[in-house]
Homo-oligomer: A and B are copies of this chain.
């Protein structure tokens, strides 16, 4: 038996293309602000051709989280599929450079590495158009089950539900980690994604998830309500811990009867919210797998999210370890 991992994640392996855009561009292209829309290759190319100068950076929701955990000093592994192309090399480089274990073989045929066009509006909101490409080819056979077995926590992004094969891979992995005594964490990813798969997520949260991550629009979509308070009542007790983020209002962490209200960190000018939820989960899970109290886990999440929104792109460019020493030492 090899080393153990604090967290192993499964998600879409994506390279982001960040572009500045205005509200009129979103309206012209029927894009819903703040949401993630799936696009096919032709749509992706047409949108890209219409938009401005880009900045490319590795992304993918769970991948951002695992990279963050590794940058914090946790042991992290990621499972996700790229193609053997230039963007796939960039993805593999960046997640390994962050310190995460990544060995999923690159596909040698089929669609190219997944790309997400992220339109950043002047209010720092991001609106995403994802071409899933090679990432949907992740299948149960690709899973490194030995890696999953060695994790304390298996982390999954809700976006996987948009691919039947990836969803099957996740369910297989969840069975493996539970048998090995580990826990399952799920991020709901996106309000529209929750609406597409609501019944399935409800079932999952009830019986198979230990730690749930969601923002306000996702948790209210899950319980079919407009009220965050109502959603809180609904989710309480359905999983061991629910960490619910509310942008500039901080987050709420529920565990049994306990409720922790976590303040946000404001570390500089708000530039780009891409990766805020992913880095919240990174900080939280890093603390959680170090055995920290839930309140501190929430603070670690808030701090990492507070950092990533002051820069372009979802992978922290500075040292998260130093940030923690400085603010939560």
Contact = CB atoms under 8 A, between A and B. Distances in A.
Contacts of A112: 86
A54 B90 contact: yes
A52 to B, nearest CB: 5
Contacts of A141: none
Q: Which residue of A17, A94, A316 has the most chain B CB atoms within 10 A of its CB atom?
A: A94
Copies in the complex: 2
Report whether over half of chain A's contact residues are helix, strand or loop; otherwise say mixed: mixed
Which 7 A-B pairs give the minimum distances between C-beta atoms? A56-B56, A86-B86, A53-B94, A52-B97, A53-B315, A53-B97, A55-B57
A93 B48 contact: yes
Contacts of A276: none
B55 A56 contact: yes
A54 B97 contact: yes
A51 B97 CA distance: 7
A20 interface: yes
A268 to B, nearest CB: 10
A312 B48 CA distance: 21
Contacts of A54: 57-58, 90, 93-94, 97
Interface in A184-222: none
A317 B54 CA distance: 8
